[in-house]
Amino acid sequence: GAKSIGKNNYHYYTKSMRDAALKRMTLISDLRHAIENEELFIVYQPIVEMHNGYCTKAEALIRWQHPVHGVIGPLEFIPVAEETGLIIDISNWVFSQVCRDVRHWRKTLCPTLQLSINTSPIHYTDPDRCITQWLDTLLETRTPPQAILLEITENLLMDANQSVSTKLFQFRQAGVDIALDDFGTGYSSISYLKKYPTDILKIDKSFVHSMSEVSNDKVLCEAIIVMAKKLGIKVVAEGIETEEQRNILQKMGCEYGQGYLFAKPLKYQDFDALLKRQKQDELACLAH
Ligand code: C2E
Ligand code: MG
Ligand code: MG
Ligand code: MG
C-alpha cells in the first residue's frame, strides 16, 4: 500500500542524500586543489558585430579539467564555489588571466579588443574583497580599464543593497564597462536599468531561442532593443544558433551577437588563431 511505498522512498532518499553529500564534499576538496594544480582554464567566446561578423569582444568562460571526470562546466562547480567562498580565489585568478590575455592581444592582434568577465554576488557584497583587488590589478598590470567588461546578473541585483551600486559606480568611474547579463530572465529587469549603471545589455539565449515560436518573445526582443538604444545602451544577443535568428535580430537593430552560429567558446590558441585570421583579412582589405 501507500504506506510501504512511502517507507521505501524514505530509505531511498536518505541513501541518495548521503551520496549527494559525499559527492559534494569530494567536489569541494577537488575544487580546492584545482586552483593550485592549475586545472582551471579559460575559453573565449567571440562576440561579433552583427553587420560584418567582426570580433572585437569575447566572453571569458571558465572550465575545469578534472583529472578523473574530464572537462567540467561552470554550471556544475560555480554554485559550490560561491557557497564555499572558493569563488574569491577562482575569480581573482580569472581576473588576472584575462588582464594578461587582453593586454597581449591588444598589443599584437586587436587594439580595441574587450574581454568580459562574469561576476558573482559575493564580489560586490563582501566588503572590498574583490573590487579593490581588481582595481589594483588593473593599475599594477597597466591594463586599460576599457579593455574589461564586467558581467552582472539580475539575481545578483535582486537582493542588492547600496554597497552594490556604489561598487559598480567605482568600477565604472575607473573606466570599466558594465554589462547586464541574462537580461529578461528575472522579475524586474527594467527597474535595474534605472538603478544601476549599464553600458551593455545581454539578451538571454532563452529569448533568442523562442523568438520564432513565441511571437510575444519576438515583440519583447524588439522592444528591449529599442528601449536600450534610447537609453544609449548597446545590445548583445546571446545564444544565436541560426541565420534566421541572426537576421531577425539584425533587422531589429541589435549591434552584437554571440552564439554557436559565429563560434563556440574557444581555447586560447584557437581564439588567437581567429584574431590572426581577422587581422590578415583586414590588411588584405586595406591593400585592395
Ligand atoms: P552566461 O554568462 O550566460 O554564458 C553564456 C553561456 O551560454 C555559456 O555557457 C556559453 O557556452 C553558452 N552558449 C554560448 N553560445 C551558445 C549557443 O549558441 N547556444 C547555447 N545553447 N548555448 C550557448 P557556459 O560556458 O556553460 O557557462 C554557463 C554560465 O556559468 C555562464 O552563463 C556564467 O553565468 C557562468 N560562468 C562562466 N564562467 C564564469 C566565471 O569565470 N565566473 C563566474 N562567476 N561565473 C561564470
Ligand atoms: Mg555571461
Ligand atoms: Mg549570459
Ligand atoms: Mg545566459
Mean pLDDT score, 163-187: 86
How close is the Cα of 288 to the center of ligand 3, in Å?
38
183 CA to centre of ligand 4 in angstroms:
8
Does pLDDT of 10 surpass 70?
no
- Distance from the alpha carbon of residue 181 to the mean position of ligand 3, in angstroms: 5
Ligand 3 center–CA 60 separation, angstroms: 11
Digit-coded pLDDT (tens) for 192-232:
887 788 999 999 999 899 887 777 889 989 999 999 999 99
Pick the residue whose CA is nearest to atom 30 on ligand 1: 74
Which residues have CB under 6 Å of ligand 1?
45, 61-62, 73-75, 78, 91, 94, 118-120, 151, 181-182, 205, 238-241, 258-260, 265
Please tell me the residue having the least CA distance from ligand 1 atom 4: 61
Q: Which residue's alpha carbon is at the smallest distance from atom 17 of ligand 1? A: 239
Q: What pLDDT score does 3 carry? A: 47
Question: Which residue's CA is minimally distant from atom 21 of ligand 1?
Answer: 239
> What's the pLDDT at 7?
53
Q: Is the Cβ–Cβ distance between 58 and 44 less than 8 Å? A: yes
Residue range 139-163, pLDDT digits in tens: 999 999 999 999 998 777 766 667 7
| Complex confidence, ipTM | 0.97
Section 10-31 average pLDDT: 84
AA identity, residue 199:
D
Task: Tell me the percentage of the chain whose pLDDT exceeds 70.
Answer: 91
Segment 85-108 shows an average pLDDT of 95
pLDDT, tens digit, 9 for 90 and up, residues 229-242: 999 999 999 999 99
Condensed to tens digits (0 to 9), the pLDDT of residues 55-80 reads 999 999 999 999 999 999 999 999 99
Q: How far is the CA of 113 from the centre of ligand 3 (A)?
A: 19
Which pLDDT does position 20 carry in this prediction? 87
Helix axes 87-108 and 2-36, enclosed angle (nearest 10): 50
Average pLDDT for the chain: 89
